[in-house]
Amino acid sequence: MKGWTQKILRVDLTSRSYSVADLSTKTAEMFIGGHGVAAKILMDEIDPKVAPLSPGNKLIFSAGPLTGTAAVMGSRYMVTAKSPLTGLLGFANSGGYFGPAMKSAGYDHIIFEGRSDNPVYIAISGEDIHFNEASHLWGKDTHEAEDIIRKEVELSGKRARVACIGPAGEKQVKMAAIMNDKHRAAGRCGLGAVMGSKNLKAVVVQGTKKIGVADETALKGVIAEIMTKLKANPAAEGFREFGTAGGLMLLNEMGVFPTKNFQKSSFKGAVKVSGETLAEKYLVKKKSCFGCPVSCGRGTKVTDPGYEGEGEGPEYETIAMLGSNLEIENLAAITKANYICNQLGMDTISVGGTLACAMELFEKGYLTKEDTGGLEIRFGDDSLIVKLVELIGKREGFGDVLAEGGFKLAEKYGHPEVFMGLHKMELPGYEPRGAKGMGLNYMTSTIGPSHCRGYTVSMEIIGSPEKIDPITENGKAMVTKALQDMTAAWDATGLCLFGTLFMDPADTLAMLSAATGRVFVIMEFIKIGERIFNLQRLFNLKAGLKKGDERLPDRFYKEPLPDGPNTGANLSLNEALGEYYSLRGWDRNGIPYLGKLKGLGLAEYAVTASAGQE
């Protein structure tokens, strides 16, 4: 096989030993790579009920067969483990340059198991694996740690790529991220806390090998065709000019821009925090991940007094969750808070959702200054968010309470209805009453509410590949399932998900076939995605997922939207959820039928009929 390295590195942190195994052809063909293969490893090797922060959990870094090749946007790597935030399968995806370097170092997957007695970082250069002491790095932020590590390992002259945690991961903040290339985040599900629980400060890779592909000529031909299409694609141009926040004003106008802890769906200060304003005021340089001609990354610098800083971002999700959802219209404050999240190593979505929960609790009198250490946690206080973000990442003062996430916060103060999330994870930046496919996707995503597991907004709002009515619930079951299956397979290849907005599926399959030497066709590709999705579902059922858990907060069902073009809209989704289960070949409790699993080659992982009952 080509594209794949066909090697899995297994690192035992307890004994400080390692071994290398082959990735079987059968497994690669059934699951492609990335989180697909990682889900199988987790299912085969750990008890789904394992405590997420115990040595028994495993942390898996994965690449796909297109990661690090010449494929357009082939930059992605994935991290998989049981999530300490949700208690379900956790998965996070990141770009930059770490994934390609990991592949060039010779590995499709790196499995970390056990726990080191003392802080350690792992340096990998082909077959040369070192366990390096990291006590001197413990407490350092992600930028400081990367700079020190690179000086220590680059004596050989080979460029090192670093994925590490900051103080948030060390202190097992439930929304801790794993950061690579300083500014790229494997952000969701709190997997940085898993890394911290293992006393693993960083993973360092030095790529030395060329990643072979089956047919370089064919791959170059497909890439040339894709590049021609990209140059003529207005969406790609919009991403290049204004980053992921380029669509913010459209989302605000369409009434899906979360505001004041999802109490409203449009933000009067939207233009002040838009991608256009970011480009005008703070953009220094457009940044690209490996193999990406779009350059949606934002190299930014803020000189506003009190918010000075330099780094990357913020992305759309960060602006939504640390901006409009907190009623903050000071882009300098949002950008500074984003820098701090990156340096301390935290998911900006969950941080923003947790802060919005705290602000509503405070506004309604459920949370007082006595609880917060004297802080008045109010919507719209731009100077406060920078302080709160730092307190969370360092678990200092009231930040120690906030570090457990919005679900625990709302539960602690007796008002769980104020938490806007699902499976204990905070919602991302799309209002589900205004884009109901996203509501169904949030409910059924295998990692908790995520915009990246089935982006129905692409059709409901953007109109790609075709426009559908965002308010109707009819037909959303089929759209949600189709996008989830496609996304699961797409991610497994190692391509950036944004490519789904710019590339035809046929182009993707042509690149995958040219790289691997194995012909992939669309229906088979989608079936692989369905296989991955069902395996992850089975893991969650074995971890304790119940049908009753798949319900959004009551706000979305009982409080019609008060503003915007969708005024009066609320959710039902009962019929849509039932239809979704049926389309998936699941019973009324959301358990896959044995016949469905046999058709997907997953019969050995079947669960009992009582597993998903309420």
| Contact between 249 and 320 (Cβ < 8 Å) | no
Instruction: Tell which residue, 411, 508, 514, has the closest CA to residue 76.
Output: 508
Between CA 584 and CA 579 the distance in angstroms is: 9
Q: Residue 405 is encoded by which pair of tokens?
A: 């996430």
SS (H, E, C) 461-513: HHCCCCCCCCCCCCCHHHHHHHHHHHHHHHHHHCCCCCHHHHCCHHHHHHHHH
Q: Residue 413 is encoded by which pair of tokens?
A: 């103060």
The pLDDT score that the predictor gives to residue 522 is 96
The pLDDT score that the predictor gives to residue 157 is 66
Q: For the chain, which residues score pLDDT lower than 50?
A: none
Between CA 48 and CA 89 the distance in angstroms is: 8
Note the pLDDT tens digit of each residue in 500-550: 888 888 999 999 999 999 999 999 999 999 999 999 999 999 999 999 999
The pLDDT score that the predictor gives to residue 504 is 87
| Contact between 373 and 401 (Cβ < 8 Å) | no
Domain ranges of the chain: 7-205, 244-426, 436-605
Second-level CATH architecture of 244-426 = Orthogonal Bundle (1.10)
Is 432 in a helix, a strand, or coil?
A: coil
Q: What are phi and psi of 18, to 5 degrees?
A: -150, 160
Residue 540's Cβ-count burial label (10 Å; 0-12, 13-18, 19+) is: buried
- When computed from its CA atoms, the radius of gyration of the chain, rounded to whole angstroms, is 22
Half-sphere exposure of 163 (CA within 13 A, CB side): 35
The pLDDT score that the predictor gives to residue 337 is 98
Q: Does domain 7-205 have CATH number 3.40.50.300?
A: no
Q: What are phi and psi of 186, to 5 degrees?
A: -90, 90
What percentage of the chain's residues is helix, strand, coil (to nearest 5)?
Answer: 45, 15, 40
Between CA 1 and CA 518 the distance in angstroms is: 8
Q: Residue 565 is encoded by which pair of tokens?
A: 């073009």
Kindly give the pairing relationship between strand 7-12 and strand 109-113.
parallel
Between CA 95 and CA 98 the distance in angstroms is: 7
Note the pLDDT tens digit of each residue in 388-428: 999 999 999 999 999 999 999 999 999 999 999 999 999 99
The pLDDT score that the predictor gives to residue 156 is 63
Q: Helical H runs in 345-459?
A: 348-363, 369-372, 382-394, 399-402, 406-412, 436-444, 457
Q: What are phi and psi of 111, to 5 degrees?
A: -105, 120
| Type of residue at 549 | D
| Contact between 300 and 312 (Cβ < 8 Å) | yes
Between CA 590 and CA 242 the distance in angstroms is: 40
Instruction: Tell which residue, 275, 276, 256, has the closest CA to residue 266.
Output: 256
Is 385 in a helix, a strand, or coil?
A: helix
Q: What are phi and psi of 372, to 5 degrees?
A: -95, 5
| Type of residue at 319 | I
The pLDDT score that the predictor gives to residue 280 is 97
Between CA 310 and CA 296 the distance in angstroms is: 17
The pLDDT score that the predictor gives to residue 466 is 87
The pLDDT score that the predictor gives to residue 1 is 80
Second-level CATH architecture of 436-605 = Orthogonal Bundle (1.10)
| Contact between 32 and 134 (Cβ < 8 Å) | no
Residue 601's Cβ-count burial label (10 Å; 0-12, 13-18, 19+) is: middle
Instruction: Tell which residue, 567, 272, 611, 554, has the closest CA to residue 416.
Output: 554
Q: Which residues face 133 on adjacent strands?
A: 120
Compute the residue count for the chain.
614
Q: Residue 166 is encoded by which pair of tokens?
A: 């900051």
| Contact between 132 and 203 (Cβ < 8 Å) | no
